[in-house]
Amino acid sequence: MAGFRDIDKALFPIKNINTVLQLFRQQLEDTCEPDLALLSIVVGIIENSLTSRSNAALQVYEPFEQNSLPLLELDAVETLYDKFQNIMNTAVNINKSKSFATRDLVKRVSDVIWNSLTRSYYKDRAHLQSLYSYLTGSKLDCFGVAFAVVAGCQTLGYNDVHLALSEDHAWVVFGEHGTENAEVTWHGKGNEDKRGQEIGKGVSSRSWLYVNNKPVICTRQMEVAALVSAINPSLNSTHDAYEVSLLQQELLWLLYDLGHLKKYPMAIGNLGDLEEISSKEGKVPCKTLFEEAIVSARRYYNNQHVYPYTYQGGYFYRNKMYKEAFESWANASDVIRLYNYSRDDEEIYKEFLEIANELIPHIMKVESSGFSANTILKKPECFANLLRFYDGICQWEEGSATPVLHIGWAKPLVNTISKFDADVRAQVNIVCDKSGEEKFSKKNGSYFNNNNYDKENGSHNSDASKSNETDISAGNFHPSLEALTAACS
Ligand SMILES: FC(F)c1nnc(N2CCN(c3ncnc4sc(CC(F)(F)F)cc34)CC2)s1
């Protein structure tokens, strides 16, 4: 059983980051499972005290002591911890007969959380992810509701209920074999919530939102990693609270070193972002972390996640490694091409829109300013990756009920492609195998997008290896891309 044990209480009052790390270490290393409610309340109090402008100036803590924090008293935590226990035990009066949760139980816990939330509030506000926010402000964001349901089920003694995470949604799995699943929170704006229902079997199952049924299924330790990833150090739109950011980074390293981030690409990416800002002595560099996130997604999630590539692409872009950025974004595009675009996929749509219409045009402007000696405009593999990037977006649109591309995409695209000289473009062969998939190769040697994945029947056609390549013009591009490229040839 989890719990707030004497050895944990002995750490209070907590005055610095190292003591918080000790609390997490004790909770994570001991045989019993970590107590999600306790840890969420502790980081929630710290985050709130250091980021809410109201009392930011009134901090009473020793600024000189190493990594000091506002004094965190035991009774502040105990009061909230007991309050959460009471809410769960009174509202969900279960005869703890069953050892495994049922859909009815999960729905009831979700209803307790749901019905106790403030009627209407700005759902996308920061700092609404923790049980501290729930217990003191009756406000939670989409992730926070799902996390609270899992923490509530843990409190009730159901250790089979776990958090399932896609790149933009959260739900729960439960049951003797962990094969049952249920919606427990809302998603997006203006969508009716589907709480209590099984995860989409219909068209929504082919949308990015459900990552082709390859979600991150959390252990208790990975649920701790999720609450740590959800820590939000932002003070306002331009500044972060330094101690909160440092605490998050140290906690992510603790979880990384204990091996709990192995199957959690986004948490590794979060750590990579923090390391890029300020790297910790003796740790792997952020570039390696972004690579590890990609390896994890390829190994455990059948390369169906986009964010590991956009984490890496963003890193290359910020560090002016434009050739590498193009490759990361083309790889991201190779993931999204497998999906059908649905109205629930706005977040990833915005991600690709920003890359295509902001980041790539900025690179083009800088590279064609004439001062870059080793310009990417002379590199055929950059042009090839650019085409692969755009083609993936076109294929994403193919077979989708909702269109992706519109004229707003065309201008930046044509502008970008026309920046590459004809002789550079001519060095890119577009070869096509029997399955009609385009592949982009360079003269000497070639590389292929290796997903001969047939979106319709969800299979990899086996004849890919026996493909007889023929050089073709760009005539085999997705019609949208063909029209666009014709515009500038
Ligand atoms: F691609 C890069 F540019 C990204 N930079 N930040 C990205 N984030 C920030 C962190 N983040 C996450 N980081 C850890 N775990 C989770 S679980 C989840 C979905 C939901 F919120 F539960 F609904 C999101 C998410 C979402 C993706 S992607």
Q: What is the pLDDT of residue 64?
A: 61
Q: What is the pLDDT of residue 470?
A: 27
CA distance 55 to 60: 10
Q: What is the pLDDT of residue 201?
A: 72
Single-letter amino acid, residue 196:
G
Bridge-partner residues for 217, per DSSP? 164
pLDDT (tens, 9 = 90+) of the chain, 489 residues, equals 678 999 999 999 999 999 999 999 999 998 789 999 999 999 999 999 999 877 655 555 555 677 899 999 999 999 999 999 999 999 887 776 679 999 999 999 999 999 999 999 999 999 999 999 999 999 999 999 999 999 999 999 999 999 999 999 999 999 999 999 999 999 999 889 999 999 977 667 889 999 999 999 999 999 999 999 999 999 999 999 999 999 999 999 999 999 999 999 999 999 999 999 999 999 999 999 999 999 999 999 999 999 999 999 999 999 999 999 999 999 999 999 999 999 999 999 999 999 999 999 999 999 998 777 789 999 999 999 999 999 999 999 999 999 999 999 999 999 999 999 999 999 998 887 766 566 665 554 433 333 334 565 544 443 333 333 323 234 445 665 665 555 444
Distance 118 CA to ligand 1 centre (A): 25
Contact 222, 260 (CB under 8 A): yes
Single-letter amino acid, residue 249:
Q
CA distance 4 to 11: 11
Bridge-partner residues for 163, per DSSP? 172
Q: What is the pLDDT of residue 211?
A: 97
Distance 239 CA to ligand 1 centre (A): 20
CA distance 101 to 175: 6
The span from the first CA to the last CA of the chain, in angstroms, equals: 67
Output DSSP code: residue 258: T
Q: What is the pLDDT of residue 235?
A: 94
Q: Is 281 helix (H, G, I), strand (E, B) or coil?
A: coil
Query: If you take atom 21 of ligand 1, which residue's CA is the nearest one?
Result: 143
190: left (phi over 0), alpha (psi -120 to 50) or beta: left
Distance 116 CA to ligand 1 centre (A): 26
Q: What is the pLDDT of residue 92?
A: 87
Distance 165 CA to ligand 1 centre (A): 9
**CA angle (55, 232, 250) in 5-degree steps:** 105
CA distance 29 to 8: 13
Residue 168 Cβ < 6 Å to ligand 1: yes
Distance 466 CA to ligand 1 centre (A): 39
Query: If you take atom 3 of ligand 1, which residue's CA is the nearest one?
Result: 311
Query: What is the secondary structure of 67-122 as a DSSP string?
Result: TEEEEE-HHHHHHHHHHHHHHHHHHS---TT-SS--HHHHHHHHHHHHHTS-SS--
Q: What is the pLDDT of residue 374?
A: 87
Angle between helices 380-397 and 322-336 (to 10 degrees): 20
Single-letter amino acid, residue 94:
I
Q: Which atom, in ligand 1's list, is nearest to the CA of 216?
A: 17
**CA angle (316, 395, 443) in 5-degree steps:** 60
Q: What is the pLDDT of residue 32?
A: 82
Residue 224 Cβ < 6 Å to ligand 1: no
Query: If you take atom 8 of ligand 1, which residue's CA is the nearest one?
Result: 266
Helical residues (DSSP H) of 301-355, grouped into ranges: 307-318, 322-336, 346-354
Distance 252 CA to ligand 1 centre (A): 14
Backbone angles phi, psi at 112, to 5 degrees: -60, -50
ipTM: 0.99
Residue 272 Cβ < 6 Å to ligand 1: no
Q: What is the pLDDT of residue 97?
A: 67
Longest dimension (CA), the chain: 75
